[in-house]
Amino acid sequence: MPKPARTPKPKTYEPGDRVQLRRAYGVIGRVVAVIRRSKPAFFGYLVDFGDHQRELAGTDVVEPPRLLLEEYRKWQEDLLGWEYVALLDDARLAQLRMEWTEVYKQLARLRPDMIPHRREGVQPVHRVTITKTTQRNKNYSSNGAFIREIDRHFWWLKCPCGLHEVAESSKEARRRKDEHDTPLGSDT
């Protein structure tokens, strides 16, 4: 009989790391201290949320979302390269640099030239992401004999330059994306 698989060891954090409270999106704090007690057995963190500090169990904290880093990874998948961060303003570039160094601590220490930064003379690149959402409406017949569900689809277009639009069809969304995107492989 084979041994059962071991449960993976949870990720541990060090003082200064940003963490998020589990099941509380956007509640982010910094670890102040790692707490280990033996009677009763407890492993957790003292987390500073700005206005107060709380002691949380190790299972109650998770990695915070890193939205800019995810967007940056999508750019790399599109073969845009790291130099195209010229599109971001100073505050968003600082946020991207912080998220990148949080995830790649050792690489940031060994190769600081790999941290995302602006290059001189690089023009902004526009990359629109399309997200489809659906609104479901229920229509009731006048005598209540039947219910008709109607799904209405919307395509949201978002570009880091500040473009935020909605389209009524996928064809219209793709057309607007093609108009707005910077062509790959060009210098503009």
The pLDDT of residue 174:
92
Structure tokens at 116: 């995302």
Query: Measured between alpha carbons, how far is 10 from 59 in angstroms, rounded to an integer?
Result: 8
Query: Low-confidence residues of the chain, pLDDT below 50?
Result: 186-188
98-125 pLDDT tens trace:
888 888 888 889 998 888 877 776 666 6
